[in-house]
Amino acid sequence: MTYGDTKVDLSGSPEVVMRSLHEFISKVIPNMDLARTISVNYSLNDLIQSFKEYVRVTPEGPRVWTQDKKLSDRDVILLQLVASRISNLSGSSGSDAMGVSEIEGATGLYPKTISSRLSELTKSANVERVDSDQGGKYRITTVGVSRLGEQLAKKFRAVP
């Protein structure tokens, strides 16, 4: 029998199998369902649905696509890292981490501004630094995705 990632082989007399099955169902399944309620892992579909108004994956690479929306430098950097994650999850790029020069090329922000904002974002756990052969690169964290989504929803919520 299989439930989610858990597989159990039951054998024995019908009574033993039924008792084991009942034990499995009553103990394991509620615990797994409970664990799922607090588990956070953004899928490609989740990211696309949450940020489809703000990012695009283009032939030139992932880009922030804001049209007429006014965004802070922090938001632009976080959105660029979300776009990079989307690009990676969709198989368009090999990594979701970006260096300062890559972020500069994609966003047009000044390197000093990017470095300052990345430092702040790293301290607040919205971004994590990843060491690579090309130097330090940055990726958005799960907390960063959540906070950015909430922030953008508040900022651009339609007023009735």
Q: Could you give all domains of the chain from N- to C-terminal order, each with its CATH number?
A: 2-38 (no CATH), 44-155 (1.10.10.10)
pLDDT of 55 over the 90 cut: yes
CA distances for 113 relative to 52, 76, 100, 151, 152, angstroms: 25, 11, 10, 20, 21
Residue 62, classed as helix, strand or coil, is strand
pLDDT in tens, 85-118: 999 999 988 889 999 999 999 999 999 999 999 9
Contact in structure between 14 and 116 (CB atoms under 8 Å): no
Give the whole-number percent of the chain exceeding pLDDT 70.
86
pLDDT over threshold 60, residue 39: yes
Task: Decide if 70 contacts 147 (C-beta within 8 A).
Answer: no
Residue 158 has pLDDT above 90, yes or no: no
